[in-house]
Amino acid sequence: MMLFGADLTVCYPYFHAAEPLVFPPKVGNYADPTAVVTKTEYSWPHALGEIVGALLDAGLRLDELREYPFTYWKAFPFLIQQGERWLMPPDRPSIPLTFSLRASRP
C-alpha cells in the first residue's frame, strides 16, 4: 500500500514486508470519515505483481488488467471530486489510483 502526503511523499512501503503496517484507532475511514474506529488496523501491502502472480500461481489465466487515474473514495486529501470519482488535481501528474483485473480458469 502506498499512501502519500500533500506532496506525494511516500509514507509506507510498496512491497510486502514480514511485519504488518499498524494503524491505531482513529476517527474516520474510507467509507465514513466520521466513524469512530475502536480497533487497531493491521495491513500488509501487496504490489501489483504480487497480486497477478498469485492468480497465475493458482492456475488462473489473466484476461484483462487495467489501471485507472481515479478512485471512488477520497484516498488522499488533495484529490478532487468529479461525479462519483476522485482524481488528481490538474496541476499534478496523473498516477494510477485503482486497477481492475479479470481472470478465468483456462
What would the pLDDT profile of 51-64 be if each residue is shown by its tens digit? 999 999 999 999 99
Mean predicted confidence (pLDDT) in 83-106: 94
Please give the Cα distance from 89 to 93 (Å, whole number).
8
Q: Specify the range with the lowest mean pLDDT, choosing from 4-8, 18-22, 72-76.
A: 4-8
pLDDT interval class at 1 (50, 70, 90): very low
pLDDT averaged over every residue in the chain: 89
Q: Sorting pLDDT into bands at 50, 70 and 90, what band is 5?
A: low
Residue 73 CB neighbour total at 10 angstroms: 14
Query: In the prediction, which pLDDT does 86 show?
Result: 96
CA 99, 8, 88, 77 torsion-angle sign: positive
Q: What average pLDDT score do residues 68-85 get?
A: 93
